[in-house]
Structure 1
Amino acid sequence: MSIPGKEKLVQEVVGTLHDNGIRGQPMWDSHNKVYKSFSDVIEGKERRFHQTLLGKRVDYLGRSVIVVGPSRSLHRCGLPCEIAIELFQTFVIRGLIRQHLASNIGVSKSKIRHITSQL
């Protein structure tokens, strides 16, 4: 096979990876299953890209009773520990990783859970 022929073949394969139906008929494997292209993976609400990479819904509705503490001045307010941890968890995770106290997000979350269980 000549070099221009190989270039065309590589171009077709890359095009199929991007969008399997780009040339009309999609490519099939030996078990008669259509290959999933990158565009198939990221399209729609049910796809992996939408489910995981765009993030999940987070409920930031903190229902708590506001009570003025006798030791607080008028321009300060108290925030329950559970709500504060939930609101600022991403910042705490980033701080733990930057200070090399945790190697990744999962380790950071488990450390946060361990500390909050002791509160």
Structure 2
Amino acid sequence: MGITKASLATDSFLSAASFQETTRVLTDAAIKGKTDPLLGLKENVIIGKLLPSGTGMKCYNDVKIVPTSDQDTEEKSVDYSQIMQSVNSVE
């Protein structure tokens, strides 16, 4: 099977239409009353939907973020006020 036929053989008619024979693929989908499951990246980009990858994946919807202790934050923080005072005094 060539690359064209492989691209057109997908379950997503939107993905297939974006590759080649757009009019034929969309007409065929409309006549047959097809629905697109929108499982791939390409078809979600086409319709402007959040991509099913990265932080857009459903498995990341219920992630709980645990804050670090204030002590850790204070140890790693930098006091920029002293730096700014020294810069201003040079001017």
* Higher RCO by CA contacts (8 Å cutoff, separation 6 or greater): 2
Write 1 or 2 for the structure with the bigger share of helix.
Answer: 2
